Amino acid sequence: MKKFTRLSMLLALSVALNVIEASLPLFNGYIPGLKLGLANIVTLFIIYQFSLKDAFYVGILRVFLVGILRTGLFSTTFFFSLSGVIFSIICMYLAKNFLKLSIVGVSIVGSIAHSTGQVLTSILLLQMSSMIYYLPWLLLFSIPTGVLVGIICKQLIKFYDEVLSFE
Amino acid sequence: MNKNDIKLVVIVLIVIILLFSLTLFRKKANIANVYYENELILEIDLSINKTYEVDGYNGKVKIEVLNNQIRVVEENSPYHLCSKQGFVSKSGESIICLPNKIIIELPSDELDAEVS
């Protein structure tokens, strides 16, 4: 398979994961903004298997597609997602290359960066400095979700390598 | 998971505890400002127990003050996030109801203290 085809399939997968997780609100929506971050599996996978550039392409296109499908283009949610994705990709890339972390650790970094990026955007964009008090809640949950995403991604890479070896 | 991952988790937990302690040391607020589309529409004295009604984007938003605490009782929105949030009472806290374009802010009086 060509790289372009692979990346398109991964993009479709990340949009699908995003829609699926939107239908599974954690804690019945009592903590708004809290989600599993399943789409981050794809971003993490691309950082490991492809390049930083490809991760940016797929991540940003995903935000646009989800914006068109679900949340609305250029809405508040859209900018939250966009800043979260960009910030988490940069941090995951740096963590992967400069810190001696396993894929699970890199995933936690991504999850934390996503929450932090969103909270920072809400502080800068909406001038809501009180959002800083909301950050510890998001950070607390980003550890278990980060671990989950990291473990799934690790298995995915293993599986991907096995399948590729048959080609 | 390796040793560095554990270190990362420990550092994050410490940061979380520090951030939570910020919340604990906040003072109780005396007033609440209600904004509609970033425009101040109502100033509420938190020492008086009373129910207020303001016009939101999707209809009436009912706000209740009880024992120096404030909450949204009733509003029309898809997820009812702001009424689920319950009471807030500390300065710096806020209730945000995006579908109704209503923001209730409990201002921190640190600035006033500096002026006087």
**% of chain B surpassing 90 pLDDT:** 3
Residue written as token pair 């996030």:
B81
For B4, the closest of A105, A112, A136 (CB atoms) is A105
Task: Give the helix, strand, coil percentages of chain A, each rounded to 5.
Answer: 85, 0, 15
Flag whether pLDDT at B112 surpasses 50: no
Q: The domain that contains A86 carries what CATH number? A: 1.10.1760.20
Query: Which one of A14-18, B29-33, B56-60, B103-107 scores highest in mean pLDDT?
Result: A14-18
The angle at the Cα of A135, spanning A134 to A136, to the nearest 5 degrees, equals: 100
Flag whether pLDDT at B111 surpasses 60: no
Cβ within 8 Å, pair B19-A136: yes
The pLDDT of B101-106, averaged and rounded, is 85
- pLDDT-derived band at B116 (thresholds 50, 70, 90) equals very low
CA dist A12 and A9 (Å) reads 5
Mutate to test the interface with B, among A26, A130, A148, A151 (most CBs of B within 10 A): A130
Closest CA to A60 of A41, A77, A78: A78
The pLDDT of B6-24, averaged and rounded, is 87
Taking one residue from A and the other from B, the number of pairs with CB-CB distance under 8 angstroms is: 61
Q: What are phi and psi of A23, to 5 degrees?
A: -90, 0
The alpha-helical segments, DSSP class H, found in B1-116 are: 3-24, 81-85, 110-115
For B37, the closest chain A residue by CA position comes to: A126
Cα A129 to the center of its chain, rounded Å: 24
Mutate to test the interface with B, among A133, A134, A138, A153 (most CBs of B within 10 A): A133
The pLDDT of B10-22, averaged and rounded, is 88
Query: Which one of B23-32, B45-54, B76-85 scores highest in mean pLDDT?
Result: B45-54
Mean residue pLDDT of chain B comes to 82
Neighbours of B14 (CB within 10 A): 10
What structural domains does chain B harbor?
27-108 (2.60.320.10)
CA distance B40 to chain A (A): 15
CA distance B112 to chain A (A): 17
**pLDDT given at position B114:** 43
For B92, the closest of A104, A112, A133 (CB atoms) is A133
Give chain A's domain count. Answer: 1
**pLDDT given at position B113:** 44
Query: Which one of A48-52, B22-26, B41-45, B102-106 scores highest in mean pLDDT?
Result: A48-52
Cβ within 8 Å, pair B5-A129: no
Name residues of chain A where pLDDT drops below 70.
1, 25-33, 127-130, 165-167
Q: Which residues in chain B have Cβ-Cβ distances shorter than 8 Å to A29?
A: 79, 81, 84
CA distance A143 to chain B (A): 7
Cβ within 8 Å, pair B8-A108: yes
The pLDDT of B97-101, averaged and rounded, is 82
Cβ within 8 Å, pair A99-B4: yes
Number of residues that this document lists for chain A: 167
Neighbours of B24 (CB within 10 A): 7
The pLDDT of B36-51, averaged and rounded, is 86
CA atoms within 13 A on the CB side of B19: 18
Neighbours of B45 (CB within 10 A): 11
Flag whether pLDDT at B115 surpasses 50: no
**pLDDT given at position A111:** 93
The pLDDT of B3-8, averaged and rounded, is 87
Q: Which residues constitute the domain of residue A94?
A: 3-25+34-166
CA distance A65 to chain B (A): 22
Cβ within 8 Å, pair B1-A132: no
